[in-house]
Amino acid sequence: MRLGRIFYIAGVAFAIATIGKSAKGNNEWLEDWIAQKPRTPVVSDFSAGGRYRNNQSLASCRPAIKPSVPIIARTAHAGNDRKCTKAYSDLYSNGELNISIFFGYDNDHEFVDDGRYQRADLEQLLTRPPEVCARGVILPFACGFKRDPDDASSFVKPLIGPDRKAKRVRIRLISSSVTSGDLRNRVFAREQADLSERVKQDFERALRTENIVFYSGHARDGGGPDFFPPRLNSDQKVDYAWYRKRRPGLKGVLSALNAQSKLVFGIFACDSNAHFRKSIKAVAPKIPLILTNAAIPITSTHNVMIASLNAVLGMKCRDAFLEDIQFSQPSEKGSPVPVMLLDGFPP
């Protein structure tokens, strides 16, 4: 048994060395990442009782999904307000509403990627049976979806639009980590780098083509949205100075947008208003945004993202929309700060 462990550790070390050697000269980002030399995983990380085992149960380390404020079902309001009705009519004008929700590489202090668990949680909510939706107690509109047989990442259902005609809603859920363990993902660095790059490109494509795009993840202090494992400094902590200077995620967003962009774009990350709004509006002044005004915990970003999705599907107008997603938290001066900001949608 002891000899087997020695061989296992040697194998992990060899994998890291091989990945680093093959990456040089081919992928500058991957080369820099491997050069940071994160802590080498040990056998116990992947054992039957380890934190990053393949058969890890969903309940063992997923974040607690508890709303910051009660998320209560309310009736759809589109139709009572002309501007609001027009906004939703424009959104559904093609007979189909395409929504893409991207989960960034959302590692926490325990080296667990929470994005995978957020995706699983939302998938469970969306696929609740229609009879649950009909009871209309919690999130009645983000409900009753079925997995698209042609695309495992997509979920579809019919919906009556503001013009009282049947529409088709399609929601894609895209996560960006190979496994739920940050340390394991760094062992499989090439696979993780490839997946992160594909998700990044898919995200930028969605900004050009989809009706609604939501991002839930880290802001990286203005360097996000980010689908890659974080760049670390010499102290093995996130190198925020590098992100503030380079701003790689924001550059990708701006390259995908233009003056004609009109999609609804929700950025559910810390201080997304301060980090991203001004730059995005300079390139795409017509784009409606759903933003945050504070640094908020992962469970809060996840819950307001789901509540925003439910409000959009329920075609709720501004006051009802904000009522569903708004909450406050203390500021440094002690006075409560409204966390959520709606910029341009709903009117």
pLDDT, tens digit (0-9, with 9 covering 90-100), for 238-297: 999 999 999 999 999 999 999 999 999 999 999 999 999 999 999 999 999 999 998 888
Among 104-113, 184-193, 200-209, 322-331, top mean pLDDT goes to 200-209
pLDDT at 295: 87
Q: Select the more confidently predicted residue: 21 or 236.
A: 236
Band of pLDDT at residue 79, cut at 50, 70 and 90: low
Q: For residue 233, give every residue at least 6 positions away whose Cβ sits within 8 Å of its Cβ, in sequence order, or none.
A: 239, 241, 242
Indicate the pLDDT class of residue 122, thresholds 50, 70 and 90: very high
Give the span between the Cα atoms of 50 and 56, in whole angstroms. 9
Contact of 208 with 256, CB cutoff 8 Å: yes
Residue 213 CB neighbour total at 10 angstroms: 25
Report the alpha-carbon distance of residue 199 to residue 299 in Å, rounded. Answer: 22
- Owner of token pair 């790059």: 197
Give yes or no for a contact between 305 and 103, defined as CB atoms under 8 angstroms apart. Answer: no
Q: Between 36 and 156, name the one with better pLDDT.
A: 156
Closest CA to 126 of 345, 281, 309: 309
Q: Is 103 helix (H, G, I), strand (E, B) or coil?
A: strand
**pLDDT greater than 80 at residue 137:** no
For the entire predicted model, the pTM comes to: 0.77
Are 102 and 213 a contacting pair, CB within 8 Å?
yes
DSSP readout, 36-47? T-PPPP-HHHHS
Segment 188-206 shows an average pLDDT of 94
Mean pLDDT confidence for 83-89: 91
Please state, in angstroms and rounded to a whole number, the distance separating the CA atoms of residues 103 and 329.
Answer: 24
Q: pLDDT value at position 35?
A: 43
pLDDT band at 60 (very low <50, low <70, confident <90, very high): very low
Look over the chain and give the mean of its residue pLDDT values, rounded to a whole number.
Answer: 78
Highest mean pLDDT among 33-42, 50-59, 291-300: 291-300
112: pLDDT strictly greater than 80: no
Query: With 80 as the cut, is the pLDDT of residue 135 above it?
Result: no
State yes or no: pLDDT of 304 exceeds 60. yes
Identify the band that residue 108 occupies on the pLDDT scale cut at 50, 70 and 90.
low
Q: Which pLDDT score is estimated for 3?
A: 46
- For residue 225, whether the previous peptide bond is cis, meaning omega lies within 30 degrees of 0, is yes
